[in-house]
Amino acid sequence: MKKRIGVVLSGCGVFDGSEIHEAVCTLLAINRNGAEAVCMAPDIELSEVNHLTGQETGAKRNVLVESARIARGKITNIAEVKAGDLDALVFPGGFGAAKNLCNFAARGAGAAIQPDVARLMKEMAAAKKPIGAICIAPALVAATLGKEYAPKLTIGNDSGTAAAINQTGSSHVDCPVTELVIDRDNKIVSTPAYMLANNISEAAEGIEKAVKAVIELI
Amino acid sequence: MKKRIGVVLSGCGVFDGSEIHEAVCTLLAINRNGAEAVCMAPDIELSEVNHLTGQETGAKRNVLVESARIARGKITNIAEVKAGDLDALVFPGGFGAAKNLCNFAARGAGAAIQPDVARLMKEMAAAKKPIGAICIAPALVAATLGKEYAPKLTIGNDSGTAAAINQTGSSHVDCPVTELVIDRDNKIVSTPAYMLANNISEAAEGIEKAVKAVIELI
């Protein structure tokens, strides 16, 4: 049986959803490590951003429907997924991780977490199953698990975001773009990716290492 | 100076635009080979497909604006790009290559080509600059260049599509998913990717080889 790695998507595009390069590099690394990606997303709205202008349009799209673009249609509503279905869980970055899966982008350490995302992440942590978080997604993990587990994780070296992460009870660790932070006690792996990457190869290298580390922790 | 590789996108999502995995693997391979990707797309409409259901919604989106999601906002209207700006040109696949950049999906060998796509591709061919085509995109190249150049290329082994390609004056060559076809006379490189791939690693392997071959032909 292949190891089943949940991949939680938050839309399709860095400014209002999942960062596409990070999500695809995650899927590729999972497959190349002999595991199976199980894509999922919440069935909620997102506020559309025109990626040519960088401006919000005022229109809404659906996170699950847009995430299906990255998953080539093979995607599950996260409300239907339990920790027992998975061996590990990975969160690619993009603003969607901080705006759709929670409201960290607006609220920082006091962020509210989308209920099914919070439930599944807490189930995984309680079952001691590994969690990977890429780019800004470690802030989501920190806001969800900080109080109970005090994880060590990284979003690179942005001092403001690091401070907000530390306010959740988690500990931020500075980390270069092609490296990763592994919290072995909590089985939480993180890498900065496009929080620091100047190009797709830098992001991919850290993600490849992080996905491999997640799978080795299973 | 880094070699400049144009990447022509056709939207964001396999069913109504660029196949996202193919586009990202293309960008990654370009960067890993020390070249620079120059993303571009036409400023035209596409017919939106809900990627969760696979059904057309009846709504329209803009090809350039949606393609900007894959390019993280760094993208140019193809109308502004000339062959002199580039060292090579690559077309990822997805239905957008056959529905938005031309109407091969509906019309086969007699397809009409989006005017700026046709212009730029013909400029590249006339300048003997390499062209790469992935998945279904070789059908677009065949319909554009078939009469004048009679290129050899592959979309894998689908006999109906191969017959339509042969009707353009091009020659289809069967090819396994992780391999590629190189027409050295015309400097045209093609690989089947998701026309045949069972998983992202198979698609990525062929794309990595194809992008490397394109850059070596410069």
The CB density around residue B4, as the number of other CB atoms within 10 Å, is: 16
Q: DSSP code of A217? A: T
Q: How far apart are the C-alpha atoms of A111 and B73, rounded to whole Å?
A: 27
Cβ atoms A63, A43 nearer than 8 A: yes
Can you tell me whether residue B111 is helix, strand or coil? coil
User: What pLDDT, on the 0 to 100 scale, is given for residue B117?
Assistant: 98
Contact B68 A75 (CB under 8 A): no
Contact A13 B13 (CB under 8 A): no
User: What pLDDT, on the 0 to 100 scale, is given for residue B73?
Assistant: 98
Architecture of domain B4-216: 3-Layer(aba) Sandwich (3.40)
Token pair belonging to A23: 């999500």
ipTM comes to: 0.98
Contact A21 B25 (CB under 8 A): no
For B21-51, what is each residue's pLDDT tens digit? 999 999 999 999 999 999 999 999 999 999 9
pTM above 0.95, yes or no: yes
User: What pLDDT, on the 0 to 100 scale, is given for residue A204?
Assistant: 98
pLDDT in tens, chain B (218 residues): 899 999 999 999 999 999 999 999 999 999 999 999 999 999 999 999 999 999 999 999 999 999 999 999 999 999 999 999 999 999 999 999 999 999 999 999 999 999 999 999 999 999 999 999 999 999 999 999 999 999 999 999 999 999 999 999 999 999 999 999 999 999 999 999 999 999 999 999 999 999 999 999 99
Token pair belonging to A73: 């249609």
User: What pLDDT, on the 0 to 100 scale, is given for residue B161?
Assistant: 97
For an interface test with B, which of A15, A19, A24, A195 has the most B Cβ atoms less than 10 Å from its Cβ?
A24
For B171-191, what is each residue's pLDDT tens digit? 999 999 999 999 999 999 999
User: What pLDDT, on the 0 to 100 scale, is given for residue A156?
Assistant: 98
For A131-156, what is each residue's pLDDT tens digit? 999 999 999 999 999 999 999 999 99
> Dihedral of the CA atoms B120, B123, B128, B134 (nearest 10)?
20
User: What pLDDT, on the 0 to 100 scale, is given for residue B191?
Assistant: 98
Q: What integer is the mean pLDDT of A24-50?
A: 98
- Alpha-carbon distance B27 to nearest alpha carbon in chain A (angstroms): 7
Give chain B positions within 8 Å (CB) of A7.
none
Domain ranges of chain A: 4-216
Angle between helices A200-216 and A20-32 (to 10 degrees): 40
User: What pLDDT, on the 0 to 100 scale, is given for residue A177?
Assistant: 97
For A176-209, what is each residue's pLDDT tens digit? 999 999 999 999 999 999 999 999 999 999 999 9
Contact A50 B69 (CB under 8 A): no
The CB density around residue B85, as the number of other CB atoms within 10 Å, is: 14
CA–CA distances in Å: residue B18 to residues A6, A12, B92, B155, B202: 24, 13, 6, 16, 18
